[in-house]
Chains A and B, each alone.
Chain A
Amino acid sequence: MAKRIDVSGLHVYYGDFLAVEDVSMTIEPRSVTAFIGSSGCGKSTFLRTLNRMHEVTPGARAQGKVLLDDLDIYGPDVDPVMVRSEVGMVFQKANPFPTMSIYDNVIAGARLNNRRMSKSEADDLVEQSLRGANLWEEVKDRLNKPGSGLSGGQQQRLCIARATAVKPSVLLMDEPCSALDPISTLAIEDLIHQLKEDYTIVIVTHNMQQAARVSDRTAFFNLSAPGKPGKLVEMGETNQIFTRPEKKETENYITGRFG
């Protein structure tokens, strides 16, 4: 069910402001792709164009092609709502629905879409998704408690369970560990390793060690100059990017000479 993403010539604008310029890349299925780069270089913005989430921001628009397998998600008759159920997303800040229990949070994708399912189907889906997110053992006795009562790391795994419960083919993660302690981060990274068996995973991170640990391929974004749009500098096997980068810019960044 994992799908390949092919981006070609993508420009992202906020109103008249060009935020990300001319990105072309291929994201392989059943692998983890990491986006690294300094703050404000457009990697999160670019990530959000992969499930048309940027359209939620007033004035934001994208030009170019994003092929999900062979379908252009910016095609004229493509419904962004359907794109998002195919390309799920996990956010920087864990955001479980505060009015819902842990159980309801996990099946929120189905419930909010009024999909009919029997009690046993729902139970199965909840257990399977929570197990998939390595959270089942911790919450199985308090499924009816509110999700906001969990710790930050547990909430983030709950959000991952919620995202996988709609069975997407791609999972986008926007700095999923930036608000977590090292132990919770490790739990999420382990989870990412397991999830890549079934999903195409794209992760934005500020933490280069994390990129090196979890990803198969890494893309480095940077601003061409302050005030100029962000661009994709280089992309390749994580190993190669971190040991033998082709561009001087990349080397400066990963060796900590700036950013």
Chain B
Amino acid sequence: MAAQSRAAHPPGRFSRLTLRQRFYIVAILLLLPAVALRVFTAFYPFLQTAYLSLHKYNPAFDHNGPVFVGLNNFARIGSDPVVQASIGFTILFVVGATFFQLTLGLAVAHLLNAAFRLRYLARALVLIPWAIPMAVAALGFRWMFDDQFGIIPDLLRTIFGVQARWLIDPNNSKLAVVSVAVWKSTPFVALVLLAGLQGIGRDLYEAARVDGANAWTCLFYITIPMLMPILITTGMFMIVWQLAVFDLPFLMTGGGPGFSTTVIAQKIYLESNSLNYGYAASISMVLVGIVALVGVVGLYLFRRFDVSA
């Protein structure tokens, strides 16, 4: 039933038995490269991670190899003060950033799709944040947000009279890091949505205008429903991807002040770097669990809206 609903065409198109077998073969051949790549680089390592997550293993100390400890590692996560301290910001970072990336991304996509003279310039400009390496963006923004040397506090002070400390303030630092994440990845979302916008037939809008619809009605009754599958796909991807991001906060604030910009992925990074492979694997498995949940919810929504679209 799900397969039926995903296909936008009437079922039974390929129902002739003679063809069906040929289609299976074609499907297998088409899927083979992608599946082979994923098996080689993701499924096998995944099994290894799942195995390690049930073991205590640090090659620097456990010289006799991994020791089976059952769910001990998972119990430890629950009581780990660093993990506890980072859950709040992880959610804020992932959900907050994704929300603004999608909404601003849709706005930017409209700008890029608008018929105006500088459209091509805008389309080239938009990729700049996405094209800047994360390490450079993080370090650059650390300088730009610096309360002594930075241009952002300086501009906010001179233009808007905002007197605030940024990266050393436990709350403002969160805002700063999320803003940079939004700045960095909105172009990516905008570009995907732009391709989606271009796929919507003009006749739909023309028909709507004839019926007296204004821009807002068009947005809410044509654009957003038509884009829903892509919005869900992209939103889901941004959530999943940003759950594993640690380089931006880590390089911009070191996860500080205190733990205010520490994300869980940073914990995995530091634990793996300290060779605590067992514990790092168990935190990864929790992350995988969360992602799987997001993925299932996302796919459910995707199927629903895909039918209605």
- A-B complex is real: no
